[in-house]
Structure 1
Amino acid sequence: MNQDLTQQWLTEIQTIKEQMAELQRDRDAAWESAQKWRKLYNTEAEQRRTDAQLSQLAIASLKADLHKLQGIETGTLAATPVTAIQQEIEQLKSMEDLQAKLIAMIKERDRLLQALKTEQDSHAQTRNNLTTALGDAIDSLTRERAGAKEKGEQGVGR
């Protein structure tokens, strides 16, 4: 009976050892999995931080371009437009949204620059036309006065 009890204890100890080994393997596998997920999380977080920094740089560049186009110094923009700009920026959910917005802004800038150039050309043409018309009017008035003066002198000389 003593030997049966000893054998039973040895079997129980062996079973417990196997369970412990299995639990240790499970623990190690869980640890490795946690490490892998932690690494993936850190990589993703770093990418998000990089994207956020690039987005902030792009936004700052767009703001500088906008200020330059508007002829406004950086510190003089009123609080309300900045709030509106910030709200619009917060609506951008991804880098693709930011890129699409940037492309749209660049197209709008180019369109506005072309419209400004067209307006400047039109203004220059109008200025030239008015200068020419004014010159013609002065020449015509000068000839008219000279003609009237000659008629007056001819009438006096008779």
Structure 2
Amino acid sequence: MVNEVSQWLAEIQALRQQLQALGQERDQAYASAANWRRLYESESEQRRNDSERSQLQIRALANELEVFKDSPLAADGSPPRDLNEVLERVNQVGSVEELRSQLAEALTLCDQLSNSLKAEQVAHEETRQNLTMALGDTIDLITKEPASEANPDAT
């Protein structure tokens, strides 16, 4: 019977060691799962942030596109045939940076054209005033001529 008791004690000891080893494996599995969960959450947070930034960029670019819808310009400065041509050119752009560069060029061109238009308007106004003054002077000369012809003694 002593043999049986020592055998049972040895078996109980072996089961305790197995239980302890399984507990350690379980703790390692929980730690691993927690680590993977943390990595997944940080990755998903980064993806959400990237998605939000991309959506903001898309909205900003769509707004900029709406601004240029009314008066789009081709690469040579002439207006394209239709909006589809502009959209096709935008879709061919390889990166956001390239699109920003083209947008900056378009805005610069728009400013230059606006300044040229203002200068042309000022020049037009000056020409109109000069022509109006010349016409007024001519009318004055014409009205004075018949009066001086009718009264030769007045000159």
How many equivalent pairs are there? 142
C-alpha distance 86-123 of structure 1, shift in aligned 2 (>3 A):
farther
Q: Which residue of 2 aligns with 1:115?
A: 116
Which residue of 66, 69, 89 corresponds with 1:67?
69
* Residue 134 of structure 2 is aligned to residue 130 of structure 1: no
C-alpha distance 67-23 of structure 1, shift in aligned 2 (>3 A):
same
Note the aligned Cα RMSD (angstroms). 3.9
Alignment of 1:4-15 (within 5 A): 5-15=7-17
* Residue 85 of structure 2 is aligned to residue 80 of structure 1: yes
Q: Which residue of 1 aligns with 2:59?
A: 57
Structure 1: runs of 5+ lacking an equivalent: none
Moved over 6 A (4+): none
Identity in percent: 19
* Residue 25 of structure 2 is aligned to residue 19 of structure 1: no
Q: Give the Cα–Cα distance (whole angstroms) in 2 for the partners of residues 29 and 119 of structure 1.
A: 75
Q: String of CA shifts for 1:49-71, please: whole Å, max 9, x gaps.
A: 22122112211221222235x28
TM-score, normalising length from structure 2? 0.64
Q: Which has the higher contact order (CA 8 A, sep 6+)?
A: 1
Q: String of CA shifts for 1:76-131, please: whole Å, max 9, x gaps.
A: 9431211112333x5016xxx88x65993696244443333233223322333333
TM-score, normalising length from structure 1? 0.63
